[in-house]
């Protein structure tokens, strides 16, 4: 783009943020709102998969393990898509990625209504929907938000991720209701039409990849246009990388990815098997969907609290606590009777469910910078989805073989304890830009601009 084109584009695009600034609201929050709704649709509908497992078993004459294959393929494909879309976001901007991804996802979601066997479900849900949803995942939407916010990054990320919690709160019970009242095909059509008719237009008209496209700076700071070069050098953390591959030579990316892998194991298994577990405990589909909705509602509030605290406290301590609390929730599914366990899990699990997402994304940005955040968080999300794919498949196999989820739930609890310990071991005050800052391009031994006490 030429200088003239850039200038004219800036002049045209700057009207809306000027209006928002006049009203006292930073335009970045409009971005968060639009991405919140996209996350509501994408994560909410994927969380609803488990509602239909028993129905598909009866309709198609298959086992829980067989239906789990479709979900497992979906998590695997979604994981592979994460770094691909992440890299595209770093190179081309997140706006194009989220719009096209939600468009494809919405059309394919309507197409689920035409599926008549497990092979069609694997093809459409396992491959098409799951790949496209990678472009509406926190690996992409979180990158856009991280570039619009610095000081309030934790809170902005939390609001974004709360969209997934609200999606579970609203869409899972709604899809259960639609299943009973209208049939499973109608349920998927309604969600797909909602995404196509509201979600895609909202992204198109509101979302921009970064504030510079609208003549703004992160957090709504004043943008001073001048022919002179920038006088101040924007600081970064000591682990900041110009090339994304360089991050793999340091520990934080591996610690975050391992913990996020465990997060995938535990969230995917519950997303697909929670309702099926409830049915095995003589709990109705409606009650199970309602309990998952309660879990999501509690999580929506919990995520916002975590976001508020994460801008004030060390994020790694909060992350470790989240994993340990979730371990307690998994243990409750084993030791308590079904009717008590389902509500104990909803309450305790709800405190921790999606809170890992803003913490992991923000920590990645704090340590390595936002330049390659799409690629790096994409790899972390790939670890998350690969763990989820394996768990969905193995949980389904275990239930089909043993008629119980106790052993898989116990394994989930053990891995969560390990993830909590690993997260707590991250040396945030040594690696994060929030505590240690160096000039851009500064060598590891460069003079520190700021350092908080340990």
Average pLDDT over residues 22-49: 88
Is the pLDDT assigned to residue 6 strictly greater than 70? no
Strand partners, 256: none
What pLDDT does residue 439 have?
62
- For tokens 């699990």, what's the residue? 349
In this structure, what is the dihedral angle of CA atoms 43, 48, 50, 54, given to the nearest 10 degrees?
-160
What pLDDT does residue 441 have?
53
220: alpha, beta or left? (left if phi > 0; alpha if psi -120 to 50): left
Nearest to 434 by CA among 333, 342, 311: 311
Nearest to 192 by CA among 103, 309, 106: 106
Packing angle, helices 251-280 and 356-368, rounded to 10: 170
Tokens at 429, concatenated: 């005050």
Q: How many CB atoms lie within 10 A of CB 424?
A: 18
Is the pLDDT assigned to residue 382 strictly greater than 90? no
Is the pLDDT assigned to residue 242 strictly greater than 90? no
> What gap in Å lies between CA 220 and CA 89, rounded to an integer?
22
Is the pLDDT assigned to residue 215 strictly greater than 80? yes
- For tokens 């783009």, what's the residue? 1
Average pLDDT over residues 40-48: 88
What pLDDT does residue 98 have?
96
Higher local confidence (pLDDT), 224 or 370: 370
Buried b / exposed e along 26-48 (16+ C-beta atoms within 10 A): bbbbbbbebbbbbbbbbbbbbbb
Tokens at 51, concatenated: 């509602």
> What gap in Å lies between CA 70 and CA 226, rounded to an integer?
55
Who's near 211: CB < 8 A, 6+ residues apart?
A: 27, 28, 147, 148, 217, 218
Higher local confidence (pLDDT), 127 or 308: 127
Phi, psi angle pair for 436, to nearest 5°:
-135, 125
Which range among 18-22, 208-212, 380-384 shows the weakest confidence by mean pLDDT?
18-22
Q: How confident is the model at residue 114 (pLDDT cuts 50, 70, 90)?
A: very high
Higher local confidence (pLDDT), 105 or 72: 105
Strand 436-439 relative to strand 235-236, pairing: antiparallel
| Range of 150-159, 202-211, 223-232 with top mean pLDDT | 202-211
What pLDDT does residue 316 have?
94
List pLDDT tens digits, range 299-340. 888 888 888 888 888 999 999 999 999 999 999 999 999 899
Average pLDDT over residues 196-216: 93
Average pLDDT over residues 140-144: 89
What pLDDT does residue 166 have?
87
- Length, in residues, of the chain: 454
What pLDDT does residue 232 have?
44
List pLDDT tens digits, range 395-442. 989 998 998 999 999 999 999 999 999 999 999 988 887 887 766 554
Task: Give how far Cα 100 sits from Cα of 45, 82, 144, Å.
Answer: 18, 15, 15
> What gap in Å lies between CA 34 and CA 160, rounded to an integer?
9
403: alpha, beta or left? (left if phi > 0; alpha if psi -120 to 50): left
Higher local confidence (pLDDT), 17 or 23: 23
Task: Give how far Cα 78 sits from Cα of 207, 374, 376, Å.
Answer: 23, 15, 16
| pLDDT, averaged across the chain | 85
> What gap in Å lies between CA 126 and CA 131, rounded to an integer?
8
Task: Give how far Cα 304 sits from Cα of 44, 61, 131, 135, Å.
Answer: 18, 43, 28, 23
What pLDDT does residue 380 have?
84
Tokens at 262, concatenated: 């465990």
Indicate the pTM of the whole model.
0.73
What pLDDT does residue 24 have?
75
What pLDDT does residue 20 have?
46
Average pLDDT over residues 267-293: 89
CATH topology of domain 25-209+235-434: Growth Hormone; Chain: A; (1.20.1250)
> What gap in Å lies between CA 65 and CA 30, rounded to an integer?
42
What pLDDT does residue 8 have?
44
What pLDDT does residue 10 have?
43
What pLDDT does residue 192 have?
95
Who's near 96: CB < 8 A, 6+ residues apart?
A: 88, 209
List pLDDT tens digits, range 256-269. 999 999 999 999 89
Task: Give how far Cα 22 sits from Cα of 26, 81, 149, 150, 427, Å.
Answer: 9, 40, 19, 21, 41
3-state SS, 159-184, equals HHHHHHHHHHHHHHHHHHHHHHHHCH
> What gap in Å lies between CA 363 and CA 310, rounded to an integer?
10
Is the pLDDT assigned to residue 181 strictly greater than 80? yes
Domain-wise residue ranges, the chain = 25-209+235-434
């Amino acid at each position: 783009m030429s200088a003239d084109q850039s200038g004219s584009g800036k002049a045209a695009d700057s009207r809306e943020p000027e209006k928002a600034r006049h009203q006292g609201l930073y335009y970045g929050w409009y971005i968060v709102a639009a991405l919140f709704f996209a996350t509501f649709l994408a994560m909410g509908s994927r969380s609803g998969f488990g509602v239909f497992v028993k129905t598909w078993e009866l309709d198609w004459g298959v086992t829980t393990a067989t239906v789990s294959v479709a979900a497992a393929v979906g998590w695997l494909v979604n994981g592979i898509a994460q770094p691909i879309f992440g890299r595209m976001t770093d190179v081309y901007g997140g706006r194009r990625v989220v719009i096209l991804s939600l468009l494809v996802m919405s059309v394919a979601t309507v197409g689920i209504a035409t599926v008549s066997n497990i092979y069609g479900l694997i093809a459409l849900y396992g491959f098409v929907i799951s790949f496209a949803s990678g472009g509406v995942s926190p690996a992409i939407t979180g990158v856009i938000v991280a570039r619009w916010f610095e000081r309030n990054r934790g809170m902005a990320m939390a609001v974004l991720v709360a969209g997934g919690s609200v999606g579970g709160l609203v869409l899972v019970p709604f899809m259960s209701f639609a299943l009973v009242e209208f049939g499973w095909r109608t349920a998927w059509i309604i969600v797909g039409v909602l995404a196509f008719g509201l979600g895609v237009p909202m992204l198109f008209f509101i979302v921009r990849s970064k504030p510079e496209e609208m003549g703004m700076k992160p957090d709504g700071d004043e943008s001073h246009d001048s022919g002179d070069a920038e006088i101040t050098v924007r600081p970064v953390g000591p682990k900041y990388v110009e090339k994304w591959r360089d991050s793999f030579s340091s520990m934080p990316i591996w610690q975050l990815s391992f913990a996020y892998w465990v997060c995938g194991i535990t969230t995917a298994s519950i997303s697909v098997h929670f309702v099926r577990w409830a049915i095995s405990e003589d709990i109705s589909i409606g009650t199970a969907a309602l309990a998952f909705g309660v879990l999501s509602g509690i999580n929506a509030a919990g995520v916002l609290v975590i976001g508020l605290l994460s801008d004030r406290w060390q994020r790694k301590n909060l992350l470790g606590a989240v994993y340990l609390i979730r371990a307690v929730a998994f243990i409750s599914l084993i030791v308590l009777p079904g009717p008590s366990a389902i509500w104990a899990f909803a309450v305790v699990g709800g405190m921790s469910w999606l809170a890992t997402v803003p913490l992991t994304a923000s920590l990645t940005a704090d340590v390595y910078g936002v330049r390659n955040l799409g690629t790096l968080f994409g790899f972390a999300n790939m670890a998350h989805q690969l763990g989820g794919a394996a768990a969905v498949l193995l949980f389904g196999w275990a239930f089909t073989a043993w008629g119980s989820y106790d052993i898989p739930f116990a394994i989930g609890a053990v891995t969560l304890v390990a993830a909590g310990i690993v997260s707590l071991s991250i040396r945030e005050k040594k690696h994060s830009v929030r505590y240690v800052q160096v000039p851009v391009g500064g060598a590891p031994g460069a003079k520190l601009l700021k350092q908080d006490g340990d």
